[in-house]
Amino acid sequence: LEAQMRSARQRLWFNVFRILLAMAVGTVILAPLEGWTLAYSIYFSAQMLMGAGWVDVMPVTTAGSWFTLLYSV
């Protein structure tokens, strides 16, 4: 039982790391690409990862649109 709990914790932390890494990548690339603040970029990255699909913040440049297309897949 203890080994199963340790394995579950490891999987949980690995998945948390993957989500934070994905948010960081989206934030770091989109902020300068779109000229957004860090807060806007974090908000947009979280929105894309959750699949919320709100359109209050969206890329306006061609490069940002292409990155978002690849990022969302």
Q: Which two tokens stand for residue 11?
A: 């999987």
Residue 62: partners with Cβ closer than 8 Å, 6 or more residues away: none
Average pLDDT over residues 3-20: 94
Q: What is the mean pLDDT of residues 46-69?
A: 86
- Residue 19's pLDDT is 92
pLDDT 10s digits, 14-56: 999 999 999 999 999 999 999 999 999 999 998 888 887 777 8
Three-state DSSP class for residue 70: helix
Please give the structure tokens belonging to residue 10.
């490891």
- pTM higher than the cut 0.95: no
State the Cα–Cα distance between residues 24 and 29, nearest whole angstrom: 8
pLDDT for the residue 11: 96
CB 52 within 8 A of CB 22: no
